Amino acid sequence: MMLLQYLAWKRVAKPHGSISGEEVRDEIAKKRVDMQGFDRLGRPMAYIYGARHFPSRRDLDGFKRYVAYVLDKICTRLPVGQEKFSAVIDLRGWGYANCDIRGYVAALDIMQSYYPERLGRVFLIHVPYMFMAAWKMVYPFIDDKTKKKFVFVADKDLDATLRDAIDESQLPEAYGGKLKL
- How many whole angstroms separate alpha carbon 47 and alpha carbon 37? 10
Q: In this prediction, what percent of the chain has a pLDDT beyond 70?
A: 100
User: Domain limits of the chain?
Assistant: 3-170
Q: What is the mean pLDDT of residues 18-45?
A: 96
**Contact in structure between 15 and 65 (CB atoms under 8 Å):** no
pTM above 0.75, yes or no: yes
**Contact in structure between 171 and 37 (CB atoms under 8 Å):** yes
For 133-145, how does the pLDDT look when each residue is reduced to its tens digit (9 = 90+)? Answer: 999 999 999 999 9
pLDDT computed for residue 17 by the predictor: 87
Class of domain 3-170: alpha beta
pLDDT computed for residue 3 by the predictor: 82
Q: What is the mean pLDDT of residues 139-166?
A: 96
